Amino acid sequence: MNDAIRNLGQRKISRRAALAGLGAGASFLAMPWVARAADDTIRIGFPTPLTGPYAAEAKDQVKSAELAIKLVNDKGGIGGRKVELLVRDGKLNGGEAATRTLELIEKDKVHAVVGALSSAVQLAVNEVTRARGVIYISISQSDTINEKKDSSKYTFHEAMNPHMTTAAVARHAFKKGNKVAHLVADYAYGHEMLRGFKRAQAAIGAETVGELLHPIGAPDYSTLMPRLRAMKPDILCISNFGRDQANSIKQAVDFGMKQQMKIVVPVLLHNQRLAVGPEVFEGVVGGANYYWELESKLPSAKTFNDAFRAANGGAIPTDYGAYGFTGVSSLLLAMQAAGGTDTEKVVAALEGLKYDVAKGAQHYRKCDHQSVQSVLVLESKKKADMKGANDFFNIVENEAPSEDVLRSCKELGFPA
Amino acid sequence: MDAELILIQLFSGVALGAILVITALGLSIIFGMLGVVNFAHGALFMIGAYAGLWVASLTGSFWWGLLVAPIMIGVFGMAIEWLLVRPLYGRSVDDPLLLTFGLSYVLVEAVRIVFGNDGIPFPTPSQLTGVANLGVGYFPIYRLFVIVVVAVVLLLLWLALEKTKFGLIVRAGSRDPTIMRVLGVNISKVWLLVFGVGVGLAALGGVLAGPMRTVNPEMGSLVLIEAFVVTVIGGLGSLLGSVVAGLLVGVAISMTALFAPEMGTIVMFALMALVLLVRPRGLFGKAA
Amino acid sequence: MERDMTVKSIPLAATSSGARKATDLAAALTNWRVLLSIAALCLLPWVLPSKALAVNVLVYGVLAMGYNLLFGYTGLLSFGHAAFFGAGAYVTGIAIGQFGVPWYGAVLLGVIGGGLLALAIGALSIRTRGIYFSMVTLALAQLVYHVALQASSWTGGENGLRGFTVAKIDIAGFSINFLDPVSKYYVLMVFAALALWFVSRILNSPFGAAIEAIRENETRARTCGYDVERTKLISFVLSGLICALAGTMSALHLAFVPLDVLHYQTSGMIVMMTLLGGASSFFGPFVGALAFLLMEDVFSLWTSHWQIIVGSIFILFVLFLPKGIWGTFLARVVR
């Protein structure tokens, strides 16, 4: 199976074809009023927030997902059937995403859904798909979707979860006896990251000297800095996401915190590093699912990058973009193994799947359908050390995939 | 909790308040003179930051950005008044509000089209990087600079309104535009200029905020809400009210940060609800 | 600050003076407005691109119509109606998911919950006037938003409320598959029809005349002996009740309540829909919801920059068609 997908990537793809792919929605445009005729095309729904603050990440996800589809279609599709990606704008709003997902299922009769880019949107899509027995592969970080309450036979989680990311980052960044201060966005995802860090700290023997919560979406962190400084930590852990990460790191640096402590984040975001610049991020350590530089060591990453570059004018795939590729690829491989789109068979195939499409070996754990995968720990480079415009990070650790970094099935509420 | 922490926290509150004041002033001036609630204020703040960044990258100097961008966007504001808001005078007060609400959608999306969805780095000017020791704690030099700029702008505004003939006309015009017309004052020109100044202040706020935050298309949405809260607490149209309320909200947020920092946003609204229940026209609001 | 009365006056659908002047067609539209509206709604799922969109039109149509009772007919611009929409949705979801209340009971609880919240927010905010009223409603609605964010054990916080999927509905021995889009639409349409009838009754009652009198001239209404504060408050609560009903419909439809329902942007969207369709016309808000959702649905497939189109269209409406789509249609075509 591994060889099969590697071979997929070695074909040259024309830019034109990829552009055509990017407009999968465009084919739909031509006749928005006519219900899709029943044919044997395999349709995959892809709700993603094309508008809103994560639009850049969403567009990367679409490009990567299109690439995965294209590679399979170039080889003749699945059992002779063409595969089509139906991209819909979920607008980073659970209600919108749920509506779009309903449309994808009820009108477009998709065979499976992949996508979402926030914990809330992912849970909204999941609520729609699991009630209707449709396969859903979520590609956004969350601990919640692993838990029994939100799980279903049809739900798979391709993205890493905060628990495994923080465990890997902590193992690398914390030492016994370190004093750690936490700045945490006050919502489920922030709390999940904090919980992960604290559990890892307990195992390592690093002490928590304080934790401050901040309102989600806060633009100013100046009133929190004096308290954080007064805690005199060795490490400042900033557990938030998106613009909040960019703003809080920027302001911590403005307040001269970096001279006194190391800044650690659960997920070091490619686009936020781009938005704030190398000087601010210099030396910040954080986790990632993917970084293009993996290609120097990993053949599957090289294959993925090359195909992506060929399709996108030399651009490299980003962290969240890669989720689009690994998520859709795993689904397509399972459909191939199942010989079609029969939901029960594809679910069984996904459960038994071992795949390596971009970042080394992966498989879905049986109980919660979490993708067991490698976790990267990155450190942001100094400007002087950058060898190119995209040379943002050093890979300081590549934690091998292991179920040990996940919460146990029992803890999540599944029968042992 | 020691006294030093409380003092530095108080100072952070005042510094944060200074930023709130500058974003609220423009909104308040426009409402005070024209009776227009500018819902595009946050979007214009954001566009100011982009304009500042653009000018700074063209000239290679932050200072040019700080000086030119507010004027540029102020002129743009005048165009908005002339083209879109002016036809609505004499209609319901809700109409300009609704129009600028639609305008904010257009402006944010236009910036997304031109500059992309990603944020853009806005480096702190090299002369103002670093932290200063205030005796009770450390504070970024750039934020101290912002306080100074806000103070200077306030002084200039006060002088312009209280000590010049133009200021006299503006103040009189806000009381009774009809009488001003009867007296032969071209009130339309005054309104045009006032709208431009208000929008220019929003843009100035954006340029000042740029080096403290990331510059991105969504950076204005919360600013709009903050500016509303401050102006409403202070009393719509009252400049003194905006200043006092801005500092009050800043200090309220920083004091909340001492025991429940996650309540930083909610405390703003709680304060506003409280003030309005006691004084339905805000702290310094004029009677109808 | 005084409201200019020449703008918002197409009382055609509501006041007797308007009806008298109107032509036969307009009179027919007015007299049969509930039945005609329901007939139009019956056809809706078969002309729209998707059933899910049709249900959304029902939800937001009812929402905008409830809002319009306060905005269009009473003349109060609230920027906080997301609170009542959200309250209806959350109470329904929590009642079903955490207390196992049957769906009809949950709908009732949702409407009552939204109504109580409207009573509280209304009592506090109607003391203020003009722009201050808009701002107080905005601030209080933001408080509700933050309370829902903090009370995550009840509401699911930022992750949204889930775990209350209604799969089938039993009515009088019949079992309806609620996951089937067509059945779902017609079940929810019954609620929309009830709301239409309810609003029509309000507008035809003396109370309807009272709120319009307040809209046209508050001082005069007071002099005529109306208890302005009480009338405003009742109108606020009635409006909140209908918006809460829309919330319960949304919860049943999506089986999910996102925190975004309480966001001030939802309040803004309600205003946009109402204005687009035509404030102070009976069916205008429904037309506005339809137009807005259709634009969003179609334009967002063309371009991710659909907001610039929607925003521009909205600006053009404020400038040139302040009566909205339906209001302009009534004024130009029917009369």
Q: Residue A372's pLDDT band (boundaries 50, 70, 90)?
A: very high
Residue C2, domain member (yes or no): no
Average pLDDT of every residue of chain C: 89
pLDDT of B214 reads 85
pLDDT of C313 reads 93
Residue C119, domain member (yes or no): yes
Distance from chain centroid for Cα A64: 12
Q: What's this model's pTM, rounded to 2 decimal places?
A: 0.90
**Would strands A207-214 and A375-380 be described as parallel, antiparallel, or unpaired?**
unpaired
Query: Which residue from C50, C160, C302 is facing A124, i.e. has the nearest CB?
Result: C160
pLDDT of C23 reads 64
Higher pLDDT, residue C119 or B161:
C119
Minimal Cα–Cα distance from A160 to chain C, Å?
17
**Would strands A393-399 and A83-89 be described as parallel, antiparallel, or unpaired?**
unpaired
Q: What mean pLDDT comes out for the span A253-263?
A: 94
Please list every residue in chain A whose beta carbon sits closer than 8 Å to the beta carbon of residue B124: 254
Looking at the predicted structure, is the pLDDT value of residue A60 above 50? Answer: yes
**Would strands A285-288 and A375-380 be described as parallel, antiparallel, or unpaired?**
antiparallel
Closest by CA position to A63, among listed A305, A355, A384: A305
- Do A132 and C179 lie within an 8 Å CB cutoff? yes
Residue C233, domain member (yes or no): yes
Q: Residue C15's pLDDT band (boundaries 50, 70, 90)?
A: very low
Looking at the predicted structure, is the pLDDT value of residue A136 above 70? Answer: yes
CA nearest to A184 within chain B: B262
Closest by CA position to C169, among listed C192, C188, C197, C194: C188
**Would strands A285-288 and B138-140 be described as parallel, antiparallel, or unpaired?**
unpaired
pLDDT of C263 reads 93
pLDDT of C16 reads 47
* Strand intervals (E) in chain C: 168-171, 174-177
- Token pair 């009867």: residue: B182
pLDDT of B1 reads 57
Average pLDDT of every residue of chain B: 90
- Measured CA to CA, the distance from residue C324 to residue C61 in angstroms comes to 15
Strands of A362-364's sheet in order across: A354-355, A362-364, A371-372
Q: What percent of chain B shows pLDDT beyond 70?
A: 99
Crossing angle between the packed helical segments C264-277 and C131-150, to the nearest 10 degrees: 130
Higher pLDDT, residue A386 or B93:
A386
- Measured CA to CA, the distance from residue B285 to residue B274 in angstroms comes to 15
Amino acid at C177: N
Number of domains chain C is built from: 1
Mutate to test the interface with C, among B28, B39, B81, B98 (most CBs of C within 10 A): B98
**Would strands A207-214 and A179-185 be described as parallel, antiparallel, or unpaired?**
parallel
Residue B159: CA count within 13 A, CB half-sphere: 6
Please list every residue in chain B whose beta carbon sits closer than 8 Å to the beta carbon of residue C142: 225, 266, 269
Q: Which secondary-structure segment (H or E) carries C17? A: helix C16-21
Looking at the predicted structure, is the pLDDT value of residue C314 above 60? Answer: yes
Helices (H), A46-93: 55-74
- Token pair 């508050």: residue: C218
At A159-217, the pLDDT tens digits run 999 999 999 999 999 999 999 999 999 998 999 999 999 999 999 999 999 999 999 88
Q: What mean pLDDT comes out for the span C215-243?
A: 94
Higher pLDDT, residue C296 or C119:
C119
Amino acid at A74: D
Q: Residue A46's pLDDT band (boundaries 50, 70, 90)?
A: very high
At B12-67, the pLDDT tens digits run 999 999 989 998 999 999 988 888 989 999 999 999 999 999 999 999 999 999 99
pLDDT of C28 reads 73
CATH number at residue C102: 1.10.3470
- Measured CA to CA, the distance from residue C255 to residue A362 in angstroms comes to 32
Residue C176, domain member (yes or no): yes
Residue C5, domain member (yes or no): no
Distance from chain centroid for Cα A241: 12
At C260-285, the pLDDT tens digits run 999 998 999 999 899 999 987 899 99
Looking at the complex, does the CB of residue A131 fall below 8 Å from at least one CB of chain C?
A: yes
pLDDT of A301 reads 97
Write the CA distances from C33 to A274, C26, C235, C304, integer angstroms: 56, 10, 21, 37
Distance from chain centroid for Cα B144: 18
Residue C4, domain member (yes or no): no
Spell out the domains of chain B, with CATH numbers in brackets: 9-122+134-278 (1.10.3470)
Q: Residue B179's pLDDT band (boundaries 50, 70, 90)?
A: confident
Minimal Cα–Cα distance from A296 to chain C, Å?
35
Chains A, C: CB contacts under 8 A, how many?
114
Q: What mean pLDDT comes out for the span B263-273?
A: 89
Looking at the predicted structure, is the pLDDT value of residue C80 above 90? Answer: yes
Looking at the complex, does the CB of residue A95 fall below 8 Å from at least one CB of chain C?
A: yes
Diameter of chain C by CA atoms?
57
Give chains near B: 3+ CB pairs under 8 A. A, C
- Measured CA to CA, the distance from residue B112 to residue B110 in angstroms comes to 5
- Measured CA to CA, the distance from residue A134 to residue B8 in angstroms comes to 55
Amino acid at C259: L
Handedness of CA A43, A47, A51, A56 (dihedral sign): negative
- Do A53 and B117 lie within an 8 Å CB cutoff? yes
Q: Name the 3-class secondary structure at A382.
A: coil
At C49-62, the pLDDT tens digits run 899 999 999 999 99
Q: CB–CB of A249/A263 below 8 Å?
A: yes
Higher pLDDT, residue B211 or C172:
B211
Q: Residue C196's pLDDT band (boundaries 50, 70, 90)?
A: very high
- Do B118 and A212 lie within an 8 Å CB cutoff? no
- Do C319 and B87 lie within an 8 Å CB cutoff? yes
Q: What mean pLDDT comes out for the span A6-25?
A: 42
Residue C198, domain member (yes or no): yes
- Measured CA to CA, the distance from residue B98 to residue C271 in angstroms comes to 8
Q: Six-digit token pair at C296?
A: 């969003």
Average pLDDT of every residue of chain A: 90
- Measured CA to CA, the distance from residue C108 to residue C88 in angstroms comes to 9
Cα radius of gyration rounded to whole Å, chain B: 19
Supply the DSSP symbol for A14: -
Amino acid at A204: I
Handedness of CA B131, B133, B137, B143 (dihedral sign): negative
Domain residues for C25?
A: 11-334
Supply the DSSP symbol for B218: T
Please list every residue in chain A whose beta carbon sits closer than 8 Å to the beta carbon of residue C260: 93-95
A33, with CB counted inside 10 A (0-12, 13-18, 19+), is: exposed
- Measured CA to CA, the distance from residue A184 to residue A192 in angstroms comes to 10
- Measured CA to CA, the distance from residue A105 to residue A111 in angstroms comes to 8
Angle at CA of residue A338, ends A333 and A341, nearest 5°: 90
- Measured CA to CA, the distance from residue C142 to residue C136 in angstroms comes to 10
- Measured CA to CA, the distance from residue B83 to residue B77 in angstroms comes to 10
Give chains near A: 3+ CB pairs under 8 A. B, C
Per-window interface: B 188-227 vs A, CB < 8 A: 209, 212-214, 216, 218-219, 222-223
DSSP class per residue in C255-267: S-B-GGGGSHHHH
For chain A, count helices (H), then strands (E).
16, 15
- Measured CA to CA, the distance from residue C242 to residue C84 in angstroms comes to 9
Query: Which residue from A212, A243, A271 is facing B261, i.e. has the nearest CB?
Result: A212
Query: Which residue from C254, C258, C306 is facing A120, i.e. has the nearest CB?
Result: C258
C171 - beta bridge partners?
C174
Supply the DSSP symbol for B229: H
Residue C275, domain member (yes or no): yes
- Sequence-separated (6 or more) residues with CB below 8 Å from residue B125: B62, B63, B142, B211
DSSP class per residue in B248-281: HHHHHHHHHHHH-GGGTTHHHHHHHHHHHHH-TT
pLDDT of C335 reads 55
Spell out the domains of chain A, with CATH numbers in brackets: 2-160+297-373 (3.40.50.2300), 163-288+376-410 (3.40.50.2300)
CA nearest to A102 within chain C: C52
- ipTM, 2 dp: 0.91
Q: CB–CB of C293/C53 below 8 Å?
A: yes
pLDDT of A18 reads 42
Looking at the predicted structure, is the pLDDT value of residue A25 above 50? Answer: no
pLDDT of A26 reads 41
DSSP class per residue in B48-106: HHHHHHHHHHHHS-HHHHHHHHHHHHHHHHHHHIIIIIGGGTTS-THHHHHHHHHHHHH
Higher pLDDT, residue C128 or C54:
C54
C310, with CB counted inside 10 A (0-12, 13-18, 19+), is: buried
Higher pLDDT, residue B264 or C121:
C121
B149, with CB counted inside 10 A (0-12, 13-18, 19+), is: middle
- Sequence-separated (6 or more) residues with CB below 8 Å from residue C136: B232, B272, B273, B276, C80, C124, C125, C128
pLDDT of A8 reads 39
Looking at the predicted structure, is the pLDDT value of residue B239 above 80? Answer: yes
- Measured CA to CA, the distance from residue C204 to residue C217 in angstroms comes to 19
Higher pLDDT, residue A226 or A12:
A226
- Measured CA to CA, the distance from residue A329 to residue A65 in angstroms comes to 8
